[in-house]
Amino acid sequence: MPTTTHHSTTTPVGEIPGIVQRVRQGATDGLLRTRDQREAQLRALRRFLVECEDELVTALRDDLGKPPIEAYSTEIGFTIGEIDHIVSKLARWMKPTRVKVPLKLRPGRARLVPQPLGTVLVIAPWNYPVQLVLAPLAAALAAGNTVVLKPSEVAPATAEVLARRLGDYLDPRLVAVVTGAVPETTALLEERFDHIFYTGNGTVGRVVMRAAAEHLTPVTLELGGKSPAIVTAPTDVEVAARRIAWGKFVNAGQTCVAPDHVLVDRELEAPLVGAIVAAVHRFYGDDPAASPDYARIVNERHHDRLVGLLDAGGFDEVALGGEHDRDQRYLAPTVLRGVAPDAAVMDGEIFGPILPVIAVDDLDAAIAHVNAGPAPLALYAFTDDEELQERVVAETSAGGVTLNHTLLHLAVDGLPFGGVGESGMGAYHGKAGFDVFTHHKPVLAKRLKPDPALLYPPYPKWKQRILRRAL
């Protein structure tokens, strides 16, 4: 798949403190205090996505080989939908919330007043380099914060478009883009922010947390993990296979909530594998390398890592795929059978188009397998039995769950998206995104009169008796 070389300019490290100070001054000046101010920036961000769609689609093709419809549906259109939802609800979210005052503290009025945190840093990954930088940006702007964005250097074409074009739409006193790699990110993390929002892996997440601790800055970490798909009878194997194959191989498996592996009832393993193989052939043809609908690995380093997982063995059979081309950053949709627990492919998140299928005795064994490891970012369960569905939900821990499909819980506006344990902390999307960048300030208002002396010292015994009953 041909690519275009992009030469994005790296932000000089020496300019970073001034950039942060400029955006922080925008917060200090209250440039996003009102709903009209916030909505103006959100609508401008939406115009950027609409008017720069062609540039973004081209960049996503260059970085990840994304097909145009995949680029639109999972990145551009997804983010437009998030912005539209935020704008439609923002007036309600910004209103103070009344809180009931206990009888002992009346007369008085209590409320929670939503206020922005100040200036936030958003550090985005490379796998969805439009959605995962701009959806948090939209939430932060809705909450009234100014924002510094750090797109991933691993997706340089997309980072270049963001750095070059966002300033044409958004007020530079409110939003700044810093490009570069580790030195630039390190310089950013030395600055003081009021919140840091990081999406990526746990290793870098720990670095972000350590840096944030120096300023006692709160963080949101959107990480990952080995998200399992459980398939247990009774179920429609062909439908389950089709939905697992779609969720796994979209974006060539480079999705934080992609099914990492499948745990399937032993008697269903062979038909499920056969149905997944058939689904992949229907999706991408006999030669996925020639399919216009199949993406590429982001770079040679990640390609080599994935091929290394296959070369390490630890499985009985490659039921599908395995073909690869380093120059084209191509790795075929690959399905493995007979995978050993200590196989390299089972050590850490795969984050690529390799799907281990593991036969287990029953649902109890599948649940035990899930609970033996860290809580994943997502979990999928395929069965027609609602009692079994509820067992999976109740007896496992995961950031989010979709029953009888994959990925789709991300698209529900009212469902927060985030991890638990090692798969992350904090959540966003919809109201949860507004809340993560908001301080809901408690306010109690009292009248100056009446002002009973009972509350104040001195405290003779009779007054103590009354106070102990009242408080």
Q: Which residues are catalytic?
A: 222, 256
Burial of 212 (0-12, 13-18, 19+ CB in 10 A): buried
Tokens matching residue 252: 């060539």
- H or E element: which one contains 18? helix 16-28
Tokens matching residue 71: 């680029």
Cis bond before residue 450 (omega within 30° of 0): yes
β-bridge partners, 440: 114
Q: What is the DSSP string of 267-323?
A: GGHHHHHHHHHHHHHHHH-S-GGG-TT----SSHHHHHHHHHHHHT--SSEEEE---
The three-point CA angle 236-241-245 to 5° equals: 155
The three-point CA angle 124-127-132 to 5° equals: 40
Give the 3-state secondary structure of 175-240. EEECCCCHHHHHHHHHCCCCEEEEECCHHHHHHHHHHHHHCCCCEEEECCCCCEEEECCCCCHHHH
Phi-psi region of 425 (alpha: psi -120 to 50; beta: other; left: phi over 0): beta
d(CA 280, CA 249): 9
Question: 377 and 228 in contact (C-beta within 8 Å)?
Answer: no
Tokens matching residue 315: 């499985």
d(CA 175, CA 161): 15
Which residue bears the tokens 């989010």? Answer: 400
CA nearest neighbour of 90 among 426, 428, 433: 433
SS3 161: helix
Tokens matching residue 210: 């350590």
d(CA 37, CA 433): 18
d(CA 158, CA 325): 23
Question: 198 and 24 in contact (C-beta within 8 Å)?
Answer: no
d(CA 121, CA 149): 6
d(CA 182, CA 441): 36
